[in-house]
Amino acid sequence: MATSTSIPVSLPMPRIPRTRRSPQEIADASPNVNQRKVLLAAPRGYCAGVDRAVVAVEKALEHYGPPVYVRKQIVHNLHVVSELEARGAIFVEETDEVPEGALVVFSAHGVSPAVVRSAEDRGLQTIDATCPLVTKVHREAVRFAKNDYEILLIGHEGHEEVEGTYGEAPHATTIVNNPEEADTVQVKNPDKLIWLSQTTLSVDETMETVRRLRERFPNLQDPPSDDICYATTNRQVAIKTIAPKSDLVIVVGSSNSSNSVRLVEVSLDYGAKAAYRVDFAHEVDESWFEGVSTVGVTSGASVPDVLVQEVLELLAEYGFGDVEEITLAEEDIVFSLPKEIRGKLKEAGDDSRALGGRGTPTTSR
Ligand code: SF4
């Protein structure tokens, strides 16, 4: 029997940084003490795909009982992964680390057909928590490859989502990592060519990549609908509004969260004087507040709001207690749970799907 390996997650407890001067003394010493404010982006944090994936693991733990294996981090957030681990989830890198016949959940980022086959070969029970918006891109890849198109997949090589989409049609797909690669990528038939993309990219950078591709390949087709998802787009739109008014932007999110990292880049591109990403409030460095009047705050699509609230509490200690929420879009999308879980909930008479929206349960237990 294969042994299982959990992904080590080192999770320091949130704490307020130790300083020689107290936060109040630092706030009082600021020349801008009466003008300090926070612009809080909305939408921010959990998207519908993350909510669905996290609730799927929670419900699997509840109804199948631990251990529940999860291939890769269910979503790219240290806090979420750590909370689920504490409740009995075991995160593995590959299905061959899961004992034969056990239950494994595929993460929100999606998997290639080869991974599905490998799970079948091992007799694993599977729950597919792939975000439906990632599944949509997979289907596009399959459909266009079947129709003899060559696919230029704009995305970051090595990212789990890109591995999954690429794996749908590897013979027909070439990954384009950035605008520079658009200048050099080679294709077989420039007249039967389509671009698809990872869901969590910078909208502006992707459009620049497409512009450069189209300069070389005028017959390049667009995807049938946007592949960059609504949540990625909305969070970028919100920070684009806030960044030019901010001396400092703090993005809450993990280092492997593509959309969180993009929010830092977009903040700087749109005029924030400085922008940093933190997993937890205690990572905020007080030196960032030098000469700062306005702090923009946002979070990636896999971040429970409690982590943002902890950053806001810390900011208030430093004199940034005045918080204005800037709302650029309303989001009310909720995806139904994976079918395997829906069946289990029905059997058990569990109609609590509504619980868990927007990151509440994982952060309150
Ligand atoms: S960021 Fe977009 S594609 Fe990714 S899980 Fe959320 S909704 Fe789905």
- The closest-lying atom of ligand 1 relative to the alpha carbon of residue 47 is 6
pLDDT by residue (tens digit) across 301-334?
Answer: 999 999 999 999 999 999 999 999 999 999 999 9
Ligand 1 atom 8: the closest Cα is on which residue? Answer: 49
Please give the pLDDT value at position 359: 42
CB 299 within 8 A of CB 44: yes
CA of 44 to the centre of ligand 1 (A): 12
β-partners of residue 295 are: 38, 248
- Least Cα distance to 138 among 155, 121, 124 occurs for 155
Whether residue 44 is predicted with pLDDT greater than 70 in this model: the reply is yes
d(CA 301, CA 335): 15
Q: State which of 44, 50, 228 you would mutate to test the pocket of ligand 1, scoring each by most atoms of that ligand within 8 A of its C-beta.
A: 50
Largest CA distance in the chain: 67
Please give the pLDDT value at position 28: 67
Where in the sequence numbering do the catalytic residues fall? 161
Tell me, using a 6 A CB cutoff, whether residue 301 lines ligand 1: yes
Tell me, using a 6 A CB cutoff, whether residue 129 lines ligand 1: no
HSE, CB side, 13 Å, CA atoms: give it for residue 129. Answer: 27
Task: Quote helix, strand, coil % in the chain, to nearest 5.
Answer: 45, 15, 40
CATH 3.40.50.11270 placement within the chain: 48-131
Whether residue 183 is predicted with pLDDT greater than 80 in this model: the reply is yes
For the structural domain made of 48-131, what CATH number should be given? 3.40.50.11270
Tell me, using a 6 A CB cutoff, whether residue 199 lines ligand 1: yes
Q: 3-state DSSP call for residue 297?
A: strand
DSSP strand E in 14-130: where? 37-42, 68-71, 89-92, 103-106, 125-128
Read off the pLDDT of each residue in 266-282 and give the average, rounded to a whole number. Answer: 98
- The closest-lying atom of ligand 1 relative to the alpha carbon of residue 200 is 1
Q: Which residues are annotated as a binding site for [4Fe-4S] cluster?
A: 47, 131, 229
Sheet-wide strand order for 125-128: 89-92, 68-71, 103-106, 125-128
CA of 254 to the centre of ligand 1 (A): 15
Tell me, using a 6 A CB cutoff, whether residue 242 lines ligand 1: no
- Least Cα distance to 99 among 122, 72, 73, 79 occurs for 122
pLDDT by residue (tens digit) across 242-266?
Answer: 999 999 999 999 999 999 999 999 9
CATH for 34-46+230-327 (3.90.180.10, 3.40.1010.20, 3.40.640.10, 1.10.287.110): 3.40.1010.20
Q: Which residues are annotated as a binding site for isopentenyl diphosphate?
A: 76, 109, 159, 257-259, 302
Give whole-number Cα distances, 149 to 169, 191, 246, 299, 357, in Å.
Answer: 10, 9, 45, 37, 39
CB 106 within 8 A of CB 129: yes
Tell me, using a 6 A CB cutoff, whether residue 200 lines ligand 1: yes
First-to-final CA distance of the chain:
33
d(CA 233, CA 229): 6
- The closest-lying atom of ligand 1 relative to the alpha carbon of residue 199 is 3
Percent over 70 (pLDDT), the chain? 88
Please give the pLDDT value at position 121: 96
- The closest-lying atom of ligand 1 relative to the alpha carbon of residue 131 is 8
CB 92 within 8 A of CB 4: yes
CA of 232 to the centre of ligand 1 (A): 7
CA of 111 to the centre of ligand 1 (A): 14
Q: 3-state DSSP call for residue 291?
A: coil
Give whole-number Cα distances, 289 to 18, 56, 248, 284, in Å.
Answer: 15, 40, 8, 10
Please give the pLDDT value at position 286: 94
Amino acid making up residue 267: S
- The closest-lying atom of ligand 1 relative to the alpha carbon of residue 108 is 5
Q: Which residues are annotated as a binding site?
A: 47, 76, 109, 131, 159, 199, 229, 257-259, 302
pLDDT by residue (tens digit) across 72-118?
Answer: 999 999 999 999 999 999 999 999 999 999 999 999 999 999 999 99
Q: Which one-letter DSSP state was computed for residue 221?
A: B
CA of 259 to the centre of ligand 1 (A): 9
Phi, psi of 159 (to 5 degrees): -70, 140
CA of 153 to the centre of ligand 1 (A): 17
CATH 3.40.1010.20 placement within the chain: 34-46+230-327, 133-216
Architecture of domain 133-216: 3-Layer(aba) Sandwich (3.40)
Give whole-number Cα distances, 51 to 186, 257, 309, 337, in Å.
Answer: 39, 15, 18, 9
Q: What is the pTM of this model?
A: 0.89
